[in-house]
């Protein structure tokens, strides 16, 4: 099922939660909506689902106006962060629920329901838990059952709102891989909401980056990481260091230092330079376009992270893999291997 959203606007009182959103989702895609808390992800998802309605704009499902139809008629399956499974029902009955409450004309026979539930439990690899109750499952197992339950009615669209948000880091990572391969198997059009950039980049084939009710960029994980379209995207995805620079006469300046010539199209005037932490090369004093003094070094595993006070007054954090390379008090040179410059808004 394909989805198209056109110029969607939604306000709550005087607050604009969605500010003219345009988006196309192709059939069979696994798309991530990524953005900080409050950026409008859930609002957008609820409108696509038919759980809420916009003030203006259009939602087209397979080219047809979806706003005239309710959630049930849109054939949508949901999984939320806290998807309350029915506590008094076994896993099996939880998954069977959606099939049992279908209108009589569509309802399957009891034997067919049992076959379908078995299939779904196999799909989420939890058939061995079918007689348990939700309280006897781990958080990760519960979310997999919630997914099986959402898939029971064979939805044409699957919407997942921070489905792994309440789980611990290790389980979250396992479930990312699992969700990817599950999607590969069933290839139902899916929209996955998360505020976790690593999760979005790892799970989805396209990522929609949102901020303040608007879309900042849509692209593959590689595109949003390597070619961020805005300062917000650069700062939100990957570990970025931001420095205030001035671009004048084709030169990039930080305080009284020149960082070299600006490429064509670089905004002139006061601007923001962004560099990924791993793109900032450290060397001995005098070796870099920037110079700073090491204030503090912290080590964890293979990473040695140094706080460096730049001569201009800013403090940044840089990484080095060589133990003992950096010592507090030492003066170092810094060279950004790659960076991008965005206008100060
Ligand atoms: P996200 O899912 O990205 O965290 P939401 O879509 O839930 O963001 O919310 C976007 C903004 O809209 C938030 O600032 C939130 O407080 C506001 N909002 C969402 N739903 C309501 C509501 N029913 N009433 C008032 N404000 C709301
Ligand atoms: Mg939300």
Q: Which of 255, 245, 275 shows the shortest CA–CA distance to 343?
A: 245
Q: Residues 218, 127: one domain?
A: yes
Write the residue with the smallest CA distance to atom 14 of ligand 1. Answer: 38
Which of residues 233, 265, 298 is at a domain's end? 233
Measured CA to CA, the distance from residue 339 to residue 345 in angstroms comes to 18
Does the C-beta of 139 come closer than 6 Å to ligand 1? Answer: no
Does the C-beta of 209 come closer than 6 Å to ligand 1? Answer: no
Q: Is the dihedral of CA 245, 247, 252, 256 positive or negative?
A: negative
Global pTM value: 0.91
Q: Helices (H), strands (E): how many in the chain?
A: 8, 20
Q: Residues 261, 332: one domain?
A: yes
Q: How many A from CA of 82 to the centre of ligand 2?
A: 12
Q: Residues 98, 122: one domain?
A: yes
Domain that holds residue 297: 240-343
Q: Residues 200, 221: one domain?
A: yes
Which of residues 205, 233, 261 is at a domain's end? 233
pLDDT, one tens digit for every residue, the chain (345 residues): 999 999 999 999 999 999 999 999 999 999 999 999 999 999 999 999 999 999 999 999 999 999 999 888 898 998 988 767 999 999 999 999 989 988 888 899 999 999 999 999 998 899 999 999 999 999 999 999 999 999 998 899 999 999 988 888 888 898 898 899 989 999 899 999 999 999 999 999 999 999 999 999 999 999 999 999 999 999 999 889 999 999 998 899 988 888 888 888 888 899 999 999 989 988 888 888 889 999 999 888 888 889 999 987 889 998 887 666 788 999 999 999 899 999 887
Q: How many A from CA of 109 to the centre of ligand 2?
A: 37
Q: Residues 216, 246: one domain?
A: no
Ligand closest to Cα of 13 equals 1
For a pocket test of ligand 1, which of 35, 39, 43, 165 has the largest count of ligand atoms closer than 8 A to its C-beta?
Answer: 43
Contact 309, 292 (CB under 8 A): yes
For residue 329, give the DSSP letter: T
Which of residues 191, 215, 233 is at a domain's end? 233
Q: Residues 16, 65: one domain?
A: yes
Measured CA to CA, the distance from residue 94 to residue 78 in angstroms comes to 14
Q: Which CATH number goes with the domain that contains 62?
A: 3.40.50.300
């Amino acid at each position: 099922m394909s989805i198209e959203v056109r110029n969607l606007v939604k306000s709550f009182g005087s607050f604009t939660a969605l500010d003219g959103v345009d988006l196309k989702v192709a059939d069979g895609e696994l798309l991530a909506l990524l953005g900080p808390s409050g950026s409008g992800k859930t609002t957008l998802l609820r409108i696509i689902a038919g759980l809420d309605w916009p003030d203006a704009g259009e939602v087209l499902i397979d080219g047809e106006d979806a706003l005239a139809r309710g959630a049930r008629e849109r054939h949508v399956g949901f999984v939320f962060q806290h998807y309350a499974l029915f506590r008094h029902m076994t896993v099996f009955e939880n998954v069977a629920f959606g099939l049992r409450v279908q209108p009589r004309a569509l309802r399957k026979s009891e034997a067919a329901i049992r076959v379908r539930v078995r299939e779904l439990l196999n799909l989420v690899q939890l058939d061995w838990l079918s007689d348990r109750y939700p309280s006897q499952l781990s958080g990760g197992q519960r979310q997999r059952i919630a997914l099986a339950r959402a898939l029971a009615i064979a939805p044409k669209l699957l919407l997942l709102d921070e489905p792994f948000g309440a789980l611990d880091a290790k389980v979250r990572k396992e479930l990312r891989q699992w969700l990817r391969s599950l999607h590969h198997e069933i290839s139902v059009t899916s929209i996955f909401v998360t505020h976790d950039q690593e999760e979005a980049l790892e799970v989805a084939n396209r990522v929609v980056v949102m901020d303040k009710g608007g879309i900042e960029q849509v692209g593959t994980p590689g595109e949003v990481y390597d070619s961020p379209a805005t300062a917000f995207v650069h700062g939100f995805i990957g570990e970025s260091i931001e420095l205030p620079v001035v671009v004048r006469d084709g030169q990039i300046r930080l305080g009284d230092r020149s960082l070299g010539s600006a490429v064509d199209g670089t905004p002139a005037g006061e601007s923001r330079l962004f560099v990924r932490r791993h793109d900032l090369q450290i060397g001995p004093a005098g070796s870099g376009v920037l110079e700073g003094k090491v204030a503090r070094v912290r080590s964890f595993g293979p990473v040695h992270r140094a706080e460096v006070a730049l001569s201009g007054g800013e403090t940044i954090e840089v990484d080095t893999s060589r133990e003992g390379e950096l010592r507090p008090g030492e003066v170092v040179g810094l060279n950004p291997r790659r960076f991008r410059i965005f206008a100060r808004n």
